[in-house]
Structure 1
């Protein structure tokens, strides 16, 4: 990305304290993997600003105040903008990519490019890596994966692979697939998560997409709370009124939330998110 388009001014030291990282601070594969996993387990995914009618700011100072210095999280543009900026201060080269979330889609092109993901180059490693700390599902990457096809990647029970989409257009299209439990859609349990090409997108492109996702009345992030919190032992998801807890042994429990006060307490204690004024979780 040209230097004139880099607007990130993130403080890596405050960020590393936020995610509890006390390892090396250098541009190598181990640091990239460690930061990726620590971020995923520390900073929650949440859309409470769009739910209350506020489009999240992508300005570095605003993202830092929200995700680093507060008990808040964010969605893909906030998470991956923050992660990219920190990686660049540590010496990684990062290309911001725009992806189509294609879960359940019959045709990839029917979905707009509303997801931000990252291509990271590590000094001394000829293979770029796909990194993504802002894909808010249980099938998200826990670690970055090399940009190669024909390989399967495992990380703490999660399985991913990259494939090429046939006849997807003039540019080579990559697809991140995740392997789900028995009965999942897709051949042999593999399900496409999102599709992307490798041309870089500028900050101005993501400002437009962020406004659409955060403000358009048809955006799912405007209509109901969607929160995710991950620990080494379990994945916690609040989707509207439904709370789902998935443990590493495969045990899944769900329940419907019916009381606003109890829902707020749960979000603040278990998701570690301070609910902003103006949000009705069960409204």
Structure 2
């Protein structure tokens, strides 16, 4: 009960940390240090797939923590960047890390086009470390981070089986522009660019709705499914399935139709496909 001049305090939904850790298979001492951050990040990447089934069906997925738990933790599903990184942020905060939400401009495949800042990533403050770390479990691409890396420019990091570095690039604006690069096909390839301007949950509510429902968004009309394991990266774009092994070898094939897509999503990607789910984009 509150007096007329008091404002009721908002309550933050509680995360079922035990259920999340069981879903990702992470075990260890629950403490906020760099080794824990890296291992939590890697377990999440291996444990929960990337998928966009709701946008293909014409709706935006909920970013409310109870809904993310029901879907990604208990429901055998995956999600895309806003879902993954919102969930990871809650986990890291429960461990005692400081987390700032950021937004990035994806440059991978842009071919010079300027895209809006629509990708969510995390800046993580680690007790006892000289600077923050970059964490991102929601970038659906073969060049995604497998482990969190220090926010340090011009230094190569080996995160599990991948190689990354952060560089600065000139741009207009008062904040430094950071670019994440991945070493792929014998070259450093830009993945996305970002500044350290904090973004808040309402910002991502708007961006999430735009990306999920805008008919010009690729996520609203083409399946993007990803799964990373210690040995391989699986990617399904539309009906095109690509398996890239850790040694760089690659196998590709076209899936024949709806039934095979459902079978592959279930058996190969570990996604519990809901009954009646739409796997083709809605008509314009």
Match of 2:62 in 1: 57
Match of 2:147 in 1: 143
Match of 1:105 in 2: 110
* Structure 2 counterpart SS, 1:214: helix
Q: How many residues align?
A: 273
Q: How does 1:259-278 map to 2 (within 5 A)?
A: 259-278=257-276
Match of 1:35 in 2: 40
Distance in 2, matches of 1:7 and 1:177, equals 35
Q: How does 1:224-263 map to 2 (within 5 A)?
A: 224-263=222-261
Instruction: Give the TM-score normalised by the residue count of structure 1.
Output: 0.92
Match of 1:222 in 2: 220
Q: CA deviation at 1:172?
A: 1.1
Seen in structure 2, the aligned counterparts of structure 1 residues 71 and 45 have a Cα distance that, compared at 3 Å, is same
Q: Which has the larger radius of gyration?
A: 2
Match of 2:73 in 1: 68
| Deviation sequence 1:130-187 (CA, Å, 0-9, x none) | 00000011100001110111200112331111011112422211110111114xxxxx
Match of 2:207 in 1: 209
Structure 1 residues without counterparts, runs of 5 or longer: 183-188
Q: What RMSD over aligned residues (CA atoms) do the two structures have, in Å?
A: 1.7
Seen in structure 2, the aligned counterparts of structure 1 residues 5 and 201 have a Cα distance that, compared at 3 Å, is farther
Seen in structure 2, the aligned counterparts of structure 1 residues 190 and 261 have a Cα distance that, compared at 3 Å, is same
* Bigger Cα displacement from structure 2, 55-64 vs 262-271: 262-271
Instruction: Give the TM-score normalised by the residue count of structure 2.
Output: 0.92
Structure 2 residues without counterparts, runs of 5 or longer: 1-8
Q: CA deviation at 1:8?
A: 5.6
Q: 1:11, 1:86 within 8 Å by CA — same for their partners in 2?
A: no
Distance in 1, matches of 2:153 and 2:32, equals 24
Distance in 2, matches of 1:259 and 1:78, equals 28
Q: 2:41, 2:148 within 8 Å by CA — same for their partners in 1?
A: yes
Seen in structure 2, the aligned counterparts of structure 1 residues 104 and 260 have a Cα distance that, compared at 3 Å, is closer
**Structure 1 segments (4+ residues) deviating >4 Å:** 4-8
| Deviation sequence 1:101-124 (CA, Å, 0-9, x none) | 01133557x210100000000111
Seen in structure 2, the aligned counterparts of structure 1 residues 256 and 6 have a Cα distance that, compared at 3 Å, is farther
> Structure 1 residue 120 and structure 2 residue 124: aligned?
yes
Q: 2:57, 2:279 within 8 Å by CA — same for their partners in 1?
A: no
Distance in 1, matches of 2:198 and 2:240, equals 37
